[in-house]
Amino acid sequence: MKQASVPVWVNVGLIPLINILLAFAVSGLVILAIGENPIEAAGYLIYGAFGYEEGIGYTLYYATNLIFTGLAVSIAFKAGLFNIGGEGQAYIGGLGVGLLCLWLDSSMPFIVILPLAVIASAVFGAAWAYIPAYLQARRGSHIVITTIMFNFIASSLMVYLLVNWLKEEGRMAANSRTFAENAWMPYMHEILSPLGINISDSPLNGAFILALICCAFIWGLIWHTRWGYQLRTLGTNATAAQYAGIDNAKVTIWVMLISGGLAGFVGINEIMGVNHNLLLNFTAGYGFAGIAVSLMGRNHPIGIILSATLFGALYQGGAELAFEMPTITPEIVVVIQGLVILFSGALEHMLKDRVEGLFIRKAA
């Protein structure tokens, strides 16, 4: 007798949805405990994220960074590597973008600067991931420990460079000078306007298109190339991969290079797309949030787009919520985000056996 199996959509759709609903239910209890109406709060949050064009633009702007870092975590995770150094890799990727724009903005047109900036962000991010990758592959140092260390090293390096070398003269703030406009990534409303599509101004820019291209690239790489087969084999069973003739050390290194390059693209969105100068702390925790985005999205590009949009909605809708209901402080919004991470990440298997058992019994 053929054993009943659980439909794929249960694991990739239904269980994550249940976890998210549980997170929002607990969040509602928190809001109720501080004396506010959770239904009203949910309305403000949803309206702030999706209720008007500018809000949608902000939501997708936040989601862009989370797509990059989520993809960075996912490709490493598929190879059995837990890259939690996305924060530092994004920081150094932004450094590469900033240095290139400061160098070429007065002499080169945008059409030349853009591809070079994309390459610079990927190269700098990949270079920052290379040392942990090499230590894992050739020396056995655990990737979690080394990537954590490199996050702190990246932060200290940026402070040193901006304070001592790159800070604009005559200013107290540790920022570089503003780039010339030919080194600015166009905003989405500027891109769509010549096509007859008019949308409200927002920070959403061309980096969102780059993020979608990266999703398609990662999908094709992991599931439709022999390199993707190698990394998935390594992630499933490293010993079997070695017996199959796969060079585990080599795969570990090139996977981490791609992961670091993806995280480095955060610099395109933040440095070239919004801030237009090099500054401290522009990563704003996106590297760490990308871990939750990847886990919630089941390490699949489509899932990552959806989960990144959800987290972008929490960022933007949370700001609207804190404005409309002053008793719900930004710290409470962080609690809501944390509950989503808790239920979709740490507790993602809490109801898995029960839900799967229900479908198996029904099929039987």
- Res. 13: pLDDT tops 90: no
CA 225 – CA 233 distance, rounded (Å): 12
Q: Does the pLDDT at position 171 exceed 90?
A: no
Assigned domain for 311 exists: no
What percent of the chain clears pLDDT 90, i.e. is strictly above it? Answer: 81
Please give the Cα distance from 105 to 127 (Å, whole number): 24
Predicted confidence at residue 2, as pLDDT, reads: 47
pLDDT at 241: 96
Asked whether the beta carbons of 175 and 160 are under 8 A apart, the reply is: no
pLDDT by residue (tens digit) across 248-305? Answer: 999 999 999 999 999 999 999 999 999 999 999 999 999 999 998 998 898 999 999 9
Residue 325 covered by a domain: no
Does 167 have pLDDT greater than 90? yes
Degrees to nearest 5, angle at CA 126 with 121 and 132:
145
Domain that holds residue 67: 61-303
Residue 3 has pLDDT above 70, yes or no: no
Letter string b/e over residues 157-179, b meaning 16 or more CB atoms within 10 A of that residue's CB: bbeebbeeebbeeeeeebbbebb
Neighbours of 33 (CB within 10 A): 9
Q: Is residue 349 part of a domain?
A: no
Lookup result for tokens 């969105």: 269
**Quick check: is 216 in a domain?**
yes
Query: Does residue 91 lie within any of the structural domains?
Result: yes
pLDDT surpassing 60 at residue 105: yes
Give the whole-angstrom CA distance, residue 166 versus residue 279.
Answer: 9
CATH number at residue 299: 1.10.3470
Residues sharing a CB contact under 8 Å with residue 329, sequence separation 6 or more, in sequence order: 322
Is residue 154 a contact partner of residue 128, using CB atoms and an 8 Å limit?
Answer: yes
pLDDT score of 306 more than 90: yes
Q: What is the pTM of this model?
A: 0.95
Q: Is residue 138 part of a domain?
A: yes
Q: Is residue 354 in a domain?
A: no
Could you identify the residue written with the tokens 């990758």?
133
What is the rounded average pLDDT of the residues 128-151?
96
Amino acid at 262: L
Q: Does residue 350 or residue 318 have the better pLDDT? A: 318
Number of domains in the chain: 1
Residue 346 lies in a domain: no
